[in-house]
């Protein structure tokens, strides 16, 4: 638990000349669960995007695992992303293929070659998210909650040290949202750190964890 996974110090994140975050600091340890809360447009999603190098960090210090995010080379970014699982609000599943083929596509794209290893890993992550019987289905045949479970399975494929979940319950009803957040907490219990953005305070209250608030371009830890 003591190992620091992520360290941001006085970072500045901009999008098209607009300062999204400034003097922002955040430390995350291995296996820690953190909610990032804040209003829509407060910079929560931009923070996550900066961690997987979709938005550059302009200044400050930013380390994620062994990667210096201010100096990371373009060719290193795919290797960083293999160690980070990303869960999107809008699923982003490939709609023209089955769930198994969706997961197979990711594994092949990240260098997996052996068919038996690929099949075993897919079976493993589907079991982890309670979707072991749904692999043959197409995305449109699944409910929103089931699709989000598949997205979490996809995020787990390369055994990441960190999962970034961007409003993972944003399109789900309250009961399904609770199941998804419980699943993310269970994954965290197994040693994978989770950063989850949300503006759903009911979830934060019902599934307590550390809370970081994104407000006025700053980050601050808040106590419940």
pLDDT in tens, the chain (224 residues): 468 999 999 999 988 778 888 898 999 999 999 999 988 878 888 999 999 999 989 889 999 999 999 999 999 998 898 899 999 877 789 999 999 999 999 999 988 999 999 999 999 999 999 999 999 999 999 999 999 999 999 999 999 999 999 999 988 899 999 999 999 999 999 899 999 999 888 999 999 999 999 988 888 888 65
Between CA 67 and CA 64 the distance in angstroms is 5
Cross-strand pairs, 64: 6, 67
Predicted TM-score (pTM) of the model is 0.92
Backbone phi, then psi, for 36, in 5-degree steps? -110, 115
Between CA 196 and CA 181 the distance in angstroms is 9
C-alpha distances in angstroms, 207 versus 174, 179, 204, 211?
Answer: 13, 11, 5, 11
């Amino acid at each position: 638990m003591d190992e620091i996974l992520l360290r941001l110090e006085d970072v500045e994140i901009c999008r098209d000349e607009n300062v999204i975050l400034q003097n922002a600091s955040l430390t995350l340890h291995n296996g820690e669960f953190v909610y990032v809360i804040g209003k829509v447009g407060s910079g929560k999603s931009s923070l996550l995007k900066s961690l997987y190098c979709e938005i550059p960090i302009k200044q400050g210090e930013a380390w994620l695992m062994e990667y210096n995010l201010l100096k990371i080379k373009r060719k290193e970014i795919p290797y960083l992303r293999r160690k980070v699982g990303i869960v999107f609000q809008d699923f982003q599943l490939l709609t023209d293929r089955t769930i198994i083929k969706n997961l197979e596509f990711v594994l092949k794209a990240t260098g997996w070659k052996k068919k038996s290893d690929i099949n075993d890993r897919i079976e493993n992550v589907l079991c982890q998210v309670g979707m072991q019987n749904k692999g043959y289905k197409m995305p449109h045949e699944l409910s929103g909650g089931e699709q989000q479970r598949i997205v979490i399975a996809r995020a787990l494929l390369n055994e990441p040290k960190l999962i970034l979940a961007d409003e993972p319950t944003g399109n789900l009803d309250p009961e399904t949202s609770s199941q998804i957040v419980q699943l993310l907490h269970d994954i965290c219990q197994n040693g994978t750190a989770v950063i989850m953005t949300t503006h759903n305070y009911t979830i934060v209250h019902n599934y307590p964890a550390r809370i970081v608030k994104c407000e006025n371009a700053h980050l601050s830890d808040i106590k419940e």
